[in-house]
């Protein structure tokens, strides 16, 4: 699972697959009208659409979006984010950590009133165990563990204070450490196998670890996949494979009535698994669902605009922090020249793409940073659709149709090269394919011979990682929190299957990215990234396309609904007594 706070830091690192499961972010919807509905009360259920079964419900080893959506209600982290400002704030920790002068040591104090859902109190031992579980090399969470690489030691100062030691200063370390999911030691490690193994040991060679570590890993991977237990506001009740997952509000939740802690109101959250979007919308209309977090663009434009629908449901539209781009392989001779890349952007009718492919549900962008972030540079030049300018640039760069075959060519490295390339897209993503087709159509008219190739996702990914492409249409998730663009744009990341798949290399950019990571002053970081974005804007290593909008539909009986930068937050919702639809015996406890 990726706790919510974690997703901020991890989000960037995930190439978006189908674009369907990404998280929702900043709103452009008006704030909700404050009607006189009284104070929030408990009761009623929320039936949520889920497109697929989670793989498993293990707080560390599950990694898909479906499971983190569920587990976020069951588990808590040391720190969380203020949903409005996205600033870090304490959750299970009593305050934000104390950071040492050299920015290497982080000391967290833990609240003494936190309880797990089985009533046992949370102590520093549980926090220490949670860290050990992540660090244990036999736990099936290699991806998660990578982010804790710089954590080299952790120890208890007193029963409610824990100290973390990190390898190097990095401004996002507080966010990473604050994102540690709190696991009950007595539940996940009943034999206390990890007790005698220190975090320092776990960080070293796995071969030297005592047998207990391995035994723990095997048990943890196998036995805790369908019955999560944490300290969060909702308890896991059941999971009927392929049908539904049910969570029930914990009446004895430690955070009840505590200030600064999210107050749950709905008695049950039911995640109903419906694999087909058409069926899900029909089910919503017939009352079988209350909430669909994602509607397809077609569903937004058609199928959700009848009077009847509007009476029953409210639609929310807001930006989802994922951008789609065309990446030009900077290693390919034809794309080595930045004028060619600029020409490609001039030839991409991005407004038309948003209008015709996304039905207007998106915004053209020009940067790798999310436009609601302070780091975003508002003064960037936006390349309009301008074929004349594009052709002028290409001529300037030496591209002419010398042999009259209708395709531009140029002598590169002593070899006559036609302007001919292939755009790869992953199958199953109609939007990206349409984007490529729109562009290819335009390029043909201008004497550029491009074609689209559709590949199965795993094969496609393999080609991208190995730089086996001329151009690709892909997406990145952006961070709504402090961004770190090192892994996409640093030249070192071009080698060895790194994320810089287009092999972008610029010495000044490298320098900025490195300095930025060690800079703890937000204002200075903003300045650094301004320059960085200007360089990218000029060089056009990507043709940035758009940030899409997400649309959700929610039954109107719910109150307290607000759109936050990170999307909608069902944890805040409640239903006035007269409008409640479901009652449950369990809620009467």
- Rule CB under 8 A: which of 52-111 touch another protein? 52-53, 55-56, 61-66
Interacting span for another protein (CB under 8 A) from 331-339, 436-444, 493-501, 571-579: 493-501
Question: Closest approach of Cβ 323 to another protein, in Å?
Answer: 14
Cα–Cα nearest to 153, from 203, 113, 192: 203
Question: Closest approach of Cβ 415 to another protein, in Å?
Answer: 30
Residue 306 near another protein by CB under 8 A: yes
Residue 311 near another protein by CB under 8 A: no
> Site for another protein (CB under 8 A): which residue of 161, 195, 201, 492?
492
Residue 286 near another protein by CB under 8 A: yes
Nearer to another protein, 29 or 283 (CB): 283
Residue 243 near another protein by CB under 8 A: yes
In DSSP terms, which residues pair with 166 in a beta bridge? Answer: 151
Which residues, other chains included, contact 172 with Cβ-Cβ below 8 Å and sequence gap of 6+? 9, 482, 484
Phi, psi of 446 (to 5 degrees): -100, 15
Q: What angle do CA 289, 358, 487 make, to 5 degrees?
A: 95
Residue 581 near another protein by CB under 8 A: no
What are the helix (H) ranges across 408-449?
430-445
Interacting span for another protein (CB under 8 A) from 95-103, 415-423, 462-470, 520-528: 462-470
* CA separation, residue 290 to residues 263, 553, 555 (Å): 20, 8, 5
Kindly write down the DSSP assignment for every residue of 461-510, as one continuous string.
HHHHHTT--SEEEEEEE--SSS---HHHH-GGGGSTT-S-TT----HHHH
Interacting span for another protein (CB under 8 A) from 138-146, 156-164, 341-349, 444-452: 138-146
Nearer to another protein, 38 or 142 (CB): 142
Residue 273 near another protein by CB under 8 A: yes
x/- letters, 499..538, toward another protein (CB under 8 A)? x-x-------------------------------------
In DSSP terms, which residues pair with 475 in a beta bridge? Answer: 324
Q: Applying CB under 8 A, what is the total number of residues that bind another protein?
A: 77
Residue 140 near another protein by CB under 8 A: yes
Interacting span for another protein (CB under 8 A) from 76-84, 173-181, 237-245, 331-339: 237-245
Residue 457 near another protein by CB under 8 A: yes
> Site for another protein (CB under 8 A): which residue of 99, 364, 440, 461?
461
Region of 260 on the Ramachandran plot (φ > 0 left; ψ -120 to 50 alpha; else beta): left
Question: Closest approach of Cβ 388 to another protein, in Å?
Answer: 36
CB distance 127 to 162 below 8 Å: yes
Question: Closest approach of Cβ 574 to another protein, in Å?
Answer: 20
Residue 487 near another protein by CB under 8 A: yes
Residue 352 near another protein by CB under 8 A: no
> Site for another protein (CB under 8 A): which residue of 40, 83, 169, 288?
288
Question: What six digits make up the tokens of 560?
Answer: 């307290």
Element (DSSP H or E) covering residue 98: strand 98-99
Going by their DSSP bridges, the two strands 105-109 and 98-99 should be labelled as antiparallel
Q: How many CA atoms lie within 13 A of 521 on its CB side?
A: 5
x/- letters, 543..572, toward another protein (CB under 8 A)? ------------------------------
Question: What six digits make up the tokens of 24?
Answer: 């929702």
Nearer to another protein, 52 or 123 (CB): 52
Cα–Cα nearest to 8, from 481, 374, 368: 481
**Residue 401 CB neighbours (<10 A):** 13
DSSP strands (E only) in 354-503: 362-364, 409-412, 415-418, 420-426, 449-455, 471-477
Applying the rule CB under 8 A, the residues between 186 and 225 that interact with another protein are: 206, 221-222, 225
Residue 16 near another protein by CB under 8 A: yes
CB distance 66 to 53 below 8 Å: yes
Residue 169 near another protein by CB under 8 A: no
Question: What six digits make up the tokens of 308?
Answer: 């009847």
Nearer to another protein, 123 or 225 (CB): 225
């Amino acid at each position: 699972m990726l706790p919510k706070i974690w997703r901020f830091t991890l989000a960037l690192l995930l190439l978006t697959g189908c674009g369907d499961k990404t998280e929702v972010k900043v709103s452009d919807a008006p704030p909700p009208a404050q009607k006189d509905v009284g104070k929030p009360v408990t009761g009623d259920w929320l039936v949520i659409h889920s497109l697929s079964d989670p793989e498993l419900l293990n707080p560390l080893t599950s990694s898909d979006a479906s499971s983190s959506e569920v587990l976020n209600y069951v588990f808590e982290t040391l720190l969380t984010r203020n949903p409005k400002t996205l600033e870090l704030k304490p959750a299970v920790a009593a305050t934000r950590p104390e950071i040492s002068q050299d920015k290497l040591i982080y000391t967290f104090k833990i609240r003494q009133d936190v309880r797990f859902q089985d009533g046992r109190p949370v102590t520093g031992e549980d926090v220490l165990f949670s860290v050990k579980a992540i660090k244990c090399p036999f736990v099936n969470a290699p991806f998660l563990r990578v982010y804790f690489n710089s954590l080299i030691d952790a120890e208890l100062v007193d029963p409610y204070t824990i100290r973390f030691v990190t390898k190097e200063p990095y401004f996002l370390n507080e966010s990473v450490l604050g994102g540690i999911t709190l696991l009950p030691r007595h539940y996940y490690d009943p034999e206390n196998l990890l007790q005698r193994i220190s975090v320092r040991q776990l960080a070293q060679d796995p071969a030297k670890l005592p047998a207990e570590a391995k035994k723990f890993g095997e048990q943890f991977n196998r036995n805790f996949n369908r019955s999560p237990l944490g300290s969060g506001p909702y308890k896991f009740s059941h999971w009927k494979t392929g049908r539904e997952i049910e969570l029930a509000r914990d009446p004895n939740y430690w955070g009840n009535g505590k200030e600064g802690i999210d107050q749950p109101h709905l008695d049950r959250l039911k995640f109903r698994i419906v694999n087909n979007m058409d069926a899900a919308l029909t089910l919503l209309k017939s009352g079988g669902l209350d909430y669909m977090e994602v509607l397809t663009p077609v569903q937004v434009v058609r199928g959700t605009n009848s009077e009847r629908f509007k009476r029953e449901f409210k639609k929310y539209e807001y930006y989802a922090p994922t951008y789609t781009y065309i990446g030009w392989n900077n290693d390919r001779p034809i794309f080595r020249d930045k004028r060619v890349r600029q020409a490609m952007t001039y030839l991409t009718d991005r407004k038309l793409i948003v209008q015709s492919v996304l039905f207007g549900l998106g915004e053209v962008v020009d940067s790798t940073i999310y436009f609601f972030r302070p780091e975003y540079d508002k003064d960037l030049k936006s390349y309009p659709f301008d074929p004349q300018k594009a052709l002028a640039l290409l001529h300037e760069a030496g591209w002419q149709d010398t042999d009259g075959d209708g395709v531009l060519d140029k002598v590169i490295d002593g070899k006559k090269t036609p302007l001919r390339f292939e755009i790869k897209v992953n199958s199953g993503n109609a939007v990206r394919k349409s984007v490529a087709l729109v562009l290819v159509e335009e390029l043909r008219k201008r004497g550029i011979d491009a074609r689209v190739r559709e590949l199965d996702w795993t094969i496609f990914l393999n080609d991208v990682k190995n730089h086996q492409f001329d151009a690709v249409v892909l997406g990145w998730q952006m961070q709504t929190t402090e961004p770190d663009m090192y892994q996409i744009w640093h030249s070192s990341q071009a080698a060895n299957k790194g994320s810089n798949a287009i092999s972008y290399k610029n010495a000044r950019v490298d320098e900025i990215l490195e300095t930025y990571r060690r800079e703890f002053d937000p204002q200075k970081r903003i300045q650094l990234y301004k320059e960085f974005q200007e360089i990218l804007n000029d060089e056009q290593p990507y043709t940035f396309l758009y940030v899409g909008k997400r649309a959700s539909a929610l039954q109107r009986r719910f109150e307290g609904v607000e759109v936050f930068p990170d999307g909608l937050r069902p944890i805040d919702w409640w239903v006035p007594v007269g409008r409640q639809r479901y009652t449950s015996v369990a809620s009467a406890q």
